[in-house]
Amino acid sequence: MGRAPCCDKASVKRGPWSPEEDAKLKAYIDENGNGGNWIALPQKIGLKRCGKSCRLRWLNYLRPNIRHGGFSEEEDNIICTLYISIGSKWSIIAAQLPGRTDNDIKNHWNTKLKKKLLGKQRKEHHARRATCLSFNQEMKRESENYTVPGTVNQAAHWPLLPPPVMPQDPIKNLLVKLGGRFSDLHPQASPTAKNPMNFQYPLDFPFSQDQPYENSMNMFSSAPSSLSPLNSTCSKVTDGITHFNVNDVDGPNDVFQGLDGFQAELSELIYSNNQQILDEFDGFYGTDNMVDGTSTGTSSVESRSWGDINSLLYPQILSVFEACRQQSIPQVSNYEESSYFGPQ
């Protein structure tokens, strides 16, 4: 059985708000607050609106100090970086951008940033793929020309490229270069029912080398290096706005559990959280043989529904794999770290 609707849809007005309605709502809330009850509020002030609609209107439009449109490059960067790290947690992202609402950010992402990044990602993907395909052809030619004496030429049965080996120091170096930080000291945190925000990702925010981010996101830069926003806790207070605090709730959190831990963590992250990373490499290698050399055969509708976006979610990880590839296949040397948020 579904729950009862919060209001009688037949008797409430829907659609765009009139200036009069706005004025009524604003005047009342300015004077009295919402009284802790949005559902009852419209009746009190004689608005034929759903309480939820009033709340939305207030939070997204009438609330003081709201800014609309005109997103700066810096704000774009923050949104993109947070999206890449935590996904579509618009309220969390909005909490880092004063004056912005989750709805605004969501719209901005859907209409502009997503396309912008997708376009960039596609370009890079195609460039990488072109490089790889030509390399594959080269490898194939060489393998066809070479037969170990006394053996059968098995080139046709082997993957064109060996599975990437995980070189440890190069990964660490690359992550550091990307702005990640290492800590081998503390146990790994993970989301819990109590602390769903207590994520642990293998990479700290890459802000540490970017001064512009430090200005606008000093909550991150001022936090201990082992803390990322993903270890933050969120708390809701009664002003109708969610507030997020950087608190180390479960004791110090680890970024990497040493290199062995990191390697396992990276693998786990990739396999459990993001099949699309594998798909990305699938596309990259032009074969179904993936990291472990086995065919995943995964190409589900769901995963594709995330589409290319997912390849954006962990550019650092992709970079790591590219570094791996570069390490294990030094012939492909034209790899360059891509700048995701730099000028196009």
Partner DNA sequence: AACACAAGCAACCGCCCACAG
Partner DNA sequence: GCTGTGGGCGGTTGCTTGTGT
User: Which residues lie near DNA (CB under 7 A)?
Assistant: 2-4, 6, 9, 13-17, 34, 36-40, 50-53, 55-57, 60-61, 68-69, 88-92, 102-104, 106-108, 110-112, 115, 236, 240, 242
Provide the residue count of the chain: 344
Least distance to DNA, CB of residue 60, Å: 6
CA distance readout (Å), 128 to 122, 133, 140, 160, 174: 10, 9, 18, 16, 18
CA-to-CA distance for 250 and 117, rounded, in angstroms?
35
Q: Which is nearer to DNA, 53 or 275 (CB)?
A: 53
Q: Which is nearer to DNA, 21 or 282 (CB)?
A: 21
Least distance to DNA, CB of residue 106, Å: 6
Q: Which is nearer to DNA, 26 or 129 (CB)?
A: 26
Least distance to DNA, CB of residue 67, Å: 11
Q: Which is nearer to DNA, 102 or 279 (CB)?
A: 102
Least distance to DNA, CB of residue 18, Å: 8
Q: Which is nearer to DNA, 68 or 126 (CB)?
A: 68
CA-to-CA distance for 41 and 48, rounded, in angstroms?
10
CA distance readout (Å), 67 to 56, 64, 103, 243: 15, 9, 12, 18
Locate 185 and state its tokens: 């000291």
CA 210 to chain centre: 18
Least distance to DNA, CB of residue 4, Å: 5
CA-wise closest residue to 310 among 344, 270, 264, 339:
270
Which residue(s) pair with 249 in the sheet?
A: 251
> 138 near 163, Cβ under 8 Å?
no
